[in-house]
Structure 1
Amino acid sequence: MRYTFGGDEHVFVEVDEAMSLEAFFRSLSITNAVRDSRIRGVTEICPANASFQIKFDPDVIAPDDLLRELKGLEGAGSGGAELKTRIIEMPVFYDDPWTRETLMRFRERHQDPGATDLEYTARINGYPDVPSLIAAHAGSPWFVSMVGFVAGLPFLTQMVERDKQIQAPKYLRPRTDTPKLTVGHGGCFGAIYSVRGAGGYQMFGITPMPIYDPAQEISYLRDFMILFRPGDIVKFRPVGRDEYDAAVEEVEAGRFSPLIREVDFSLAAFQADPTGTNAALLGVLHG
């Protein structure tokens, strides 16, 4: 593990150079240990895909003392990778008119100006057509390995063997506009844009289900303004325009209730049998 200071108030810890579920679980285990240790002076803890960052008050704990405390917790990340978490179903309107209009406005910034983002991603991943790509995207669960960059935005790792993961480069130059709640993909990561703004991920569709509400007025976000937390599992479900519009109305009326189930996840079990683990997770979701 590599430790570096970020200014006077942060320690950045790189768990691994490669991003993987193993690296994420080690990061999560250590940051949980930091939280449970209640180290004086630690004010914020942020796990990421293959790293984590700690914010501290240097008037309460000296930087070298914090570094010594963190190094003493390295062993917390070497145990079994098991997690009590949630699986959350998210409706997605793939190839919707809003992301399509947006991507058409920015084709000069794209690798293939003559194709949509879905068409381009399907082609470079060897899928015969867009429906096949959508089926693969929605067919397996996704692991939330980080929340951030923009408030509430989840980074998602597809829960399949590495050689089966969908991969697509980001735009050659970032867009200055991306619709709120766009479901995108960049590199090997999926993402859901929590707010409208700039972005460079390939745009696949849009969800009617808000994931960030700073006013905490949306029914299922009243307890906390951000839906996702690291370790959550997401299952996308394709919907058409009618179901999308109906869900938007339900959200606005305060009646939308996401499908969320508590589940146990074992990294060892997943690595031994990804297909069987995913089937069991989906069985809990719809059981």
Structure 2
Amino acid sequence: MRVLVTGAGGQLGRDTVERFAASGHEVVAAGRRELDVTRRDQVLGAVGGIGPDVVVNCAAYTAVDACETDVGRAYQINALAVRHVAEAARRFGAHLCHISTDYVFSGDQSEPYHEWDRPDPRSAYGTSKLAGEHEASGEATVVRTSWLCGRHGSNMVSTVLRLAAEGGPMQFVDDQRGIPSFTADVAAVIERLCADRRPGVYHVTNQGPVSRYEFAREIMAAAGRDPDRVAPIATAELQPPRPAARPANSVLENRALALAGLDLPPDYRVPLRSLVALLLG
């Protein structure tokens, strides 16, 4: 296939480009400098000129707290830009795969969220990403993922390793639960869904619900460091308080993948060990 990846400079975008290329597909990687997805004319020109079979839209405004004070920019990038990409994909016959988030849910329910649960976002980031899902709807694939970690960019694994090396205090909240998602594993599922041109919403995460505090301890253990250096803290005790509400429960069940008979990404501890070894060199 010929594949256009927008937002190709981000951690998921970069691994998505690498995954498609490694499988022998022709890939055009478009970061912000190459393609401004908020510009309709640029998007139509790029998709029309490249003629991709598949467009994977990884472009997003993911600064969760900044979205609370810059709501217009959040909607411009996370919603209106998706309208442009979806329009271009329809016009030129490409299949669209759009990346979304666990933040479309409130986090209030005790059970994991599956694809048919009703979204109820509590932050500007979440509401703008849900709006983007609506713009991509139809024959598009929508991939919701959570707690992304990979070898490119900043994420919780790289942050914990940095704090461990600095030797300072380490506190992580123990009242937010989710599932770490490793970008290489998510990219592999994206490739399969795009190859099949499967429409609809899919939750794509690794397996194993965990709190952020527990995840930090697992990262320390994988690095051969003392997990007891990590202390728990409640979200309400964070100073300064975070502007955007975080879902207390953002565990995503990969129900659609399972029902479709597709392989689920492995337990998060498997790629965690590999990533830590890679980052520590």
Q: TM-score, normalised by structure 1?
A: 0.25
Richer in helix (by share)? 2
Q: TM-score, normalised by structure 2?
A: 0.25
Greater Rg by CA: 1
